[in-house]
Amino acid sequence: MANRKVSLLVLDDEPWNMSWLEDFAASEGVELRMVSTYDEAVQEASKEAPDIAVVDIMIGATSEEVVGVTLASVPAEWVGLRFVRYLRATLARSKDKTAIIVYTVLDRDELAKVVEDAFQGVYCVKSNVEHFRGTLLAAVARFKQK
């Protein structure tokens, strides 16, 4: 079905992002749900699986992890990553296909690698507005064409 209403679920603890994402989603005709905690995210995703989930990967990270630490693994404590795990476990049992886009405020190549290794098929976008918007737009366009 062409031009269907695409649903987008955003997990981000940064309230500043809300208003520009609202404008972005409205202009694309995307149904937007924004949550800031793991519980809210699970609740929303279980109500209706989103077409696209955008997850701030480092919610719950300590400042040390945000700044300067070289990560060798995916920290279990990160709320964003817990939600990615939840989505993947849930999606594995359902026919719904949610595109998962994770991002972080920092350009952390080693972090992207750790995430891509752990969650194959998850888009890990760079801390680059153009890249982030481009990835999101491409995902929206893909779902509109479905």
Partner 1 sequence: MTKPKGFVIRRKAEPAGGEEGKRVPSQSSEPGSPPVPAPEPAPPPANYFDAAFLDNLAHQLIAPLQCIENHCQNILDNRVPPDRVNVRLREVVGHARVTISLAQRMRFLHQLVTNPDEHYQVEQVPFHKIVSQWIDGFNNYQPALKAKGINVDIHHDEMNGLSDVLATPLAVQQVIMNLYDNAAKYARDKCRIDVSARERGSFVEVTFRHPGVPIAEEYRERIFDRGFRSPAVEKIRAPGTGVGLWVCRRLMRAMKGDIVCVPQGLHGETEFRLSWQIAK
List 4, 5, 14, 134, residue binding partner 1 (CB under 8 A): 14
Give min distance, CB of 49 to partner 1, in A. Answer: 22
Q: Between 48 and 107, whose beta carbon lies closer to partner 1?
A: 107
Residues within window 31-90 making contact with partner 1, judged by CB under 8 A: 36-37, 56, 58-79, 81, 85
- Residue 121 CB partners (closer than 8 Å, separation 6+): 100
DSSP state of 64: H
List 100, 112, 114, 124, residue binding partner 1 (CB under 8 A): 114
Give min distance, CB of 90 to partner 1, in A. Answer: 15
Give min distance, CB of 76 to partner 1, in A. Answer: 4
Q: Find residue 123's DSSP bridge partners.
A: 101
Give min distance, CB of 122 to partner 1, in A. Answer: 12
CA dist., res. 137 & res. 139, Å (int): 5
Total residues at interface with partner 1 (CB under 8 A): 50
CB environment 39-67: b (16+ within 10 A), e (fewer): eebbebbeeebbbbbbbbbbbbbeeebee
List 4, 46, 97, 106, residue binding partner 1 (CB under 8 A): 106
Give min distance, CB of 42 to partner 1, in A. Answer: 14
CA dist., res. 117 & res. 101, Å (int): 14
35 phi and psi, to 5 degrees? -135, 160
Q: How many CB atoms lie within 10 A of CB 135?
A: 20
Q: Which residues bind partner 1 (CB under 8 A)?
A: 12-17, 19-20, 23-24, 26-27, 36-37, 56, 58-79, 81, 85, 103-106, 114, 117-119, 127, 129, 133
